[in-house]
Chain A
Amino acid sequence: MPTEIQMPTNRIGLTKKEYQGLTTTLCSGCGHNSITSGIISACYDLGIHPHQLAKLSGIGCSSKTPAYFMNRSHGFNAVHGRMPSIATGVEVANRTLINLGISGDGDSASIGMGQFIHAIRRNTNLVYIIENNGTYGLTKGQFSATADYEALDHYKNINKYQALDLVELAIICGATFAARSFSGDRKQMEALIKAAIAHNGCAILDIISPCVTFNDHKESTKGYEYMKEHDVPLEELGFVPSFEEIKVDYQPGEVKDIELHDGSHLLLKKLKEEYDPTDRKKALETISKAKDEHQVLTGLVFFKKNMPSHHELLKLPETPLKDLTDKELKPSHEDFATLIKTFN
């Protein structure tokens, strides 16, 4: 009698399969597919109940990916550049959800720039992932606003305009969590996705994600080859979820421990100089300097603790607004009559 193969399960008894989605329709080798796998692993490891997560996105190859992970979570593929507003609506309607937003560099750095900035400004409860390939994948390779100055595109056109750096911008706009990663560095990426989920507020995660079809040529600064040579991790990252004990095997003083909102920890072993991700001025300086040296800094670039989230700013009740009933939404007859009397 053949023995049934027991699939491994996570702490809430679900198999990895239960975190997967439909088969991807993206090009094989597309960086976005690695991010999809990273998200699946991160959510599986954390033991997130799929129904407690909402997947939100804009339009683009990147924004299609929520269909390819977490089939058991509600998903909303909205319009181009407007994922953050959908996320804001969802977070206020149901404060118990984890909002996982997926966007692209076209989606966030151009058409959606306003919403990107204002989600940060409000500290919307959102894991905001930008799958950044320096190009408009879905419309076949036009330059995006994150493409480097004088970069070449697939058709050998030269980019005339300066590049926007979404992490730098996020920090300037008051982000409470700003990080960059590379889809080719699964370990770092997963640690940052987990930390972003544990963060209370808007977590900006810009992930360089090569477009193999339109922007992975030799000269591309968002391609695999360039990234392999120029990716400079700021720290070696270890994520310790709230349900695990922290065991540190580093020398004292070598590791910075960042405690996150839900009690989990992000352990940072410094690799680059004396980098301190809680120092805003230093963070901006370091990014700027690295750019001059053609380095792509990855890791947790900036983190600020204890900033009130949008829920707190709006003084929302504990009960999700979607669950309020007639009784809580309507005043008493007496209070209504008192108000009506003031109109005379």
Chain B
Amino acid sequence: MLYTDLTMTAQQAKIINNFSVKVATTNGTGSQSANNIFFKSLVRMGIHTSSKNLFPSNIQGLPTWFVIRACPKEYNTMRQTAEVWVLVNRGSLEKDLKEIKKGTVVLYDSPGLEVPQTVEGAIYYPLPFSKLSRENFDKPRLRTLLTNVVYVGCLAALFHIDKKIIYEVIHDTFSEKPKVIDVNLKAIELGYDYVQKNIQKKDPYSYKPDTKTLGKMVIEGNQASALGCVMGGASVVAWYPITPASSLSENIEKFSDTFRKDPKTGKRNIAIIQAEDEIAAIGMAIGAGWAGARAMTGTSGPGISLMNEFIGLAYYAEVPVVICDVQRVGPSTGLPTRTQQGDIRLCAFASHGDTRHICLYPGTIEEAYEITALSFDIAERLQTPVFVLTDLELGMNLWTATPLKYWEKPYDRGKVLSKEDLDKMKSFSRYLDSDGDGICYRTFPGTPNPHAAYFTRGTGHNEHSAYTEDNEDYHRIMMRLKKKIDLSPKYLPKPIIEENKKAKIGIISIGTSHHAVVEARDELSSKHGIQTRYLRIRAFPFHEEVLTFIHQCEWVMVVEQNRDEQLTGILRNDFTEVVSKIHACAYSDGLPLRPSIVTDKILEVNSRAN
């Protein structure tokens, strides 16, 4: 009954669950909450949807865009263009109107915005978002907030989002604030009702219930990483606020209140410290890791830059620590709220002197959780810093994902000698490679055995952790460290390979670049008849499978989101025998990578190769 008032029903609409909606609003007006309601409702309808929030480094008043893409092929990238626009922001109007083309559907705030209906073939729906809100809610702040919810109501009526589901989402979202529920419901109703009574549907777009996302969870990457930290056993977290990493540590705090707190005493099995800067944050984590806790810090590029000296110490003195880097656009302060894979090289070789660090690269929600949980085992097993590199795109957007599973794997605390172990030994030498795998045994302060103690230092040391400037001692320890890192891949997540026997071209990607590659591969094969095989790197140092993969291809395209071919450069450096086969598709403009950039680059190299 709900839809009968509209001239075009869901059945008649021709484009179903396959279009993007782009909302142009202002930050600090509560649009994010409205957009999340919109997104979650689509997911609960079972429609595969991905969302990208493009927001400024500002608290209030600058343009924000929110793009929601429904896609039956389950792609997750952001489209270059949106079929449907919701215009609420005067500030970005001029820019936004340039995107309106033939066929674009434009919902805009009217009265309010002056939108000349000049693009031929575009469909315009003037809608009184702010007027309805103004007339129905009394407090100024509420009016601003609910203007956004009114447009969600309008979208629901126009494109057939199940109102019952929206209601449920609102109830679940604000379950602790019943007053908020009522006004939100009212705002939805106002928008919905207005469209039903006043608008004649002229566009072909519609949502229809599906089964693709039923039972899936909706979660941000930083929440998944935070859950990984908690399930992975982090017990000391030191951090300093920075976008886009803050919500990672803040969510650890939240989950710890649920999972680690004794309700009777209020005591918590975790120390979370907001440090005075990133240098202190990594220092605390290293101190805690040295003393035997599972320790970590969460930051972004500028923080890693500050941490460099300490990272070298942890590498050389062999102290386990996990560093979660949610990458943003550099150099310098860069574009603080835009995404990039700009720290690949920085993290792999952080600090002065010869270093090489373990880096892990989750590309999905499931991996942000699992790889982060695993990183604590890896750090303790290898006694070295472990970087987990995600980025703003993964970390700060809402994603749909299969519900995360309980982390069953028992913790691997690595080679640690207890009092009882030491009681059976005549002596203990901290940096002696007694197993031949480059990994030595360590002890924790507080171990009651006279042999347990050793002196940790960033200065030259020998196997007995004694100070030395001897050339042979230095060289031997450095070569042993190299062996340890060279042998590390067996502890690291393997690359994921998608074979294709017919393909000569290989694609290699990393982290969130994956999503553009998935779509580009389909496009290459369906539109251009080009078959590809695909390998996604999930760890550095690289597994030998990566080299084998390159050998098997005529040439490979390495896809990454930065200017300077950072991953490509490391691959070329490590695999000199296949250098001529390695091409780079390295592109970064702050927006999530678009598939067309990958497709175009591959077509270009392919035409040269033929």
Q: Report how far A344 CA is from B40 CA in the complex, Å.
A: 7
B186 within 8 A of A: no
Q: Report how far A106 CA is from B179 CA in the complex, Å.
A: 57
A71 within 8 A of B: yes
- Contact call B453/A72, Cβ cutoff below 8 A: yes
- Contact call A77/B458, Cβ cutoff below 8 A: yes
Q: How far is the CB of B540 from chain A (nearest CB, A)?
A: 25
Within 8 A of A (CB), among B211-247: 216-219, 223, 227, 231, 233, 235-236, 238
Q: Given A73-B453, A82-B279: A89 and B172 within 8 A (CB)?
A: no
> 1/0 contact trace for B433-475 toward A, CB 8 Å?
0000000000111111110111111110000000100000000
- Contact call A330/B291, Cβ cutoff below 8 A: no
B545 within 8 A of A: no
- Contact call A93/B283, Cβ cutoff below 8 A: no
> 1/0 contact trace for B258-273 toward A, CB 8 Å?
1110100111111111
A90 contacts which of B255, B288, B411, B447 (Cβ < 8 Å)? B288
Residues of B within 8 A of A250 (CB): none
Interface residues of B, Cβ cutoff 8 Å to A: 40, 43-44, 172, 216-219, 223, 227, 231, 233, 235-236, 238, 255, 258-260, 262, 265-273, 275-277, 279-295, 309-310, 313, 403-404, 406-407, 410-411, 443-450, 452-459, 467
Q: Report how far A87 CA is from B280 CA in the complex, Å.
A: 10
A140 within 8 A of B: no
Q: How far is the CB of A314 from chain B (nearest CB, A)?
A: 5
> 1/0 contact trace for A78-95 toward B, CB 8 Å?
110010111111101110
Q: How far is the CB of B521 from chain A (nearest CB, A)?
A: 29
A269 within 8 A of B: no
B289 contacts which of A89, A115, A320, A339 (Cβ < 8 Å)? A89
Q: Report how far A336 CA is from B373 CA in the complex, Å.
A: 14
Which B-chain residue is minimally distant from A122 (CB atoms)? B273
Query: What number of residue pairs across chains A and B have CB atoms under 8 A from each other?
Result: 221
Residues of B within 8 A of A315 (CB): 265-268
Which residue, A51, A94, A96, A114, has most C-beta atoms of chain B within 10 A?
A: A51
Q: Given A78-B313, A79-B309, A93-B293: A321 and B271 within 8 A (CB)?
A: yes
Which B-chain residue is minimally distant from A338 (CB atoms)? B258
- Contact call A85/B411, Cβ cutoff below 8 A: no
Which B-chain residue is minimally distant from A96 (CB atoms)? B446
Residues of A within 8 A of B279 (CB): 82, 85, 115
Residues of B within 8 A of A330 (CB): 231, 233, 259, 407
Q: Report how far A93 CA is from B286 CA in the complex, Å.
A: 10
Q: Report how far A49 CA is from B459 CA in the complex, Å.
A: 27
Residues of A within 8 A of B455 (CB): 66-67, 74-77
Residues of B within 8 A of A114 (CB): 276-277, 280
- Contact call A344/B44, Cβ cutoff below 8 A: yes
Residues of B within 8 A of A74 (CB): 443-446, 452-456
Q: Given A86-B283, A89-B295, A115-B280: A333 and B313 within 8 A (CB)?
A: no
- Contact call A76/B290, Cβ cutoff below 8 A: yes
Residues of B within 8 A of A71 (CB): 453
Q: Given A93-B295, A330-B231, A335-B258: A85 and B453 within 8 A (CB)?
A: no
Residues of B within 8 A of A96 (CB): 446
- Contact call B457/A77, Cβ cutoff below 8 A: yes
Q: Report how far A336 CA is from B309 CA in the complex, Å.
A: 38
A2 within 8 A of B: no
Total interface residues on A, CB under 8 Å, equals: 59
- Contact call A89/B238, Cβ cutoff below 8 A: yes
Q: Given A329-B235, A343-B223: A322 and B291 within 8 A (CB)?
A: yes
Q: Given A92-B236, A316-B267, A331-B258: A50 and B453 within 8 A (CB)?
A: yes
- Contact call B452/A51, Cβ cutoff below 8 A: yes
- Contact call B291/A94, Cβ cutoff below 8 A: yes
A324 within 8 A of B: yes
Q: How far is the CB of A269 from chain B (nearest CB, A)?
A: 37
- Contact call B445/A92, Cβ cutoff below 8 A: no
**Given A85-B280, A343-B403: 12 more A-B contacts, CB < 8 Å:** A49-B448, A74-B446, A74-B454, A78-B310, A85-B238, A89-B291, A93-B287, A322-B291, A331-B258, A343-B217, A344-B44, A344-B218
- Contact call A118/B276, Cβ cutoff below 8 A: yes
Q: Report how far A324 CA is from B217 CA in the complex, Å.
A: 30
Q: What are 13 A-B pairs with beta-carbon distances under 8 A? A: A73-B453, A74-B456, A78-B310, A84-B280, A89-B285, A92-B284, A93-B290, A97-B446, A330-B407, A333-B406, A336-B406, A343-B217, A344-B218
A52 within 8 A of B: yes
Which A-chain residue is minimally distant from B319 (CB atoms)? A76
- Contact call B292/A85, Cβ cutoff below 8 A: no
> 1/0 contact trace for A44-55 toward B, CB 8 Å?
000001111010
Which residue, B43, B44, B455, has most C-beta atoms of chain A within 10 A?
A: B455
A317 within 8 A of B: yes
A328 within 8 A of B: yes
Which A-chain residue is minimally distant from B443 (CB atoms)? A74
Residues of A within 8 A of B43 (CB): 344
Q: How far is the CB of A89 from chain B (nearest CB, A)?
A: 2
Which A-chain residue is minimally distant from B454 (CB atoms)? A74
Residues of A within 8 A of B266 (CB): 315
Residues of A within 8 A of B290 (CB): 76, 86, 89-90, 93
A5 within 8 A of B: no
Residues of A within 8 A of B456 (CB): 74-77
A249 within 8 A of B: no
- Contact call B287/A85, Cβ cutoff below 8 A: yes
A51 contacts which of B272, B273, B448 (Cβ < 8 Å)? B448
Residues of A within 8 A of B281 (CB): 85
Residues of B within 8 A of A336 (CB): 231, 259, 406
Q: How far is the CB of B231 from chain A (nearest CB, A)?
A: 6
- Contact call B287/A317, Cβ cutoff below 8 A: no
Residues of A within 8 A of B219 (CB): 343
Residues of A within 8 A of B406 (CB): 333, 336-337
Within 8 A of B (CB), among A33-64: 49-52, 54, 56
A329 contacts which of B44, B269, B457 (Cβ < 8 Å)? B269
Residues of A within 8 A of B309 (CB): 79
- Contact call B292/A94, Cβ cutoff below 8 A: yes
A245 within 8 A of B: no
A229 within 8 A of B: no
Which A-chain residue is minimally distant from B411 (CB atoms)? A326
Q: Report how far A336 CA is from B456 CA in the complex, Å.
A: 38
Q: Given A317-B268, A331-B258, A331-B259: A89 and B292 within 8 A (CB)?
A: no
A1 within 8 A of B: no
Q: Given A77-B459, A322-B444: A314 and B271 within 8 A (CB)?
A: yes
- Contact call B217/A340, Cβ cutoff below 8 A: yes
Which B-chain residue is minimally distant from A76 (CB atoms)? B456
Q: Report how far A67 CA is from B236 CA in the complex, Å.
A: 27
Q: How far is the CB of B609 from chain A (nearest CB, A)?
A: 45
Residues of A within 8 A of B286 (CB): 78, 86, 89
Residues of A within 8 A of B288 (CB): 89-90, 92-93, 321
Which B-chain residue is minimally distant from A71 (CB atoms)? B453
Q: Report how far A315 CA is from B262 CA in the complex, Å.
A: 10
Q: Report how far A323 CA is from B447 CA in the complex, Å.
A: 12
Residues of B within 8 A of A322 (CB): 235, 291-293, 444, 446
Q: Report how far A82 CA is from B308 CA in the complex, Å.
A: 13
- Contact call B291/A88, Cβ cutoff below 8 A: no
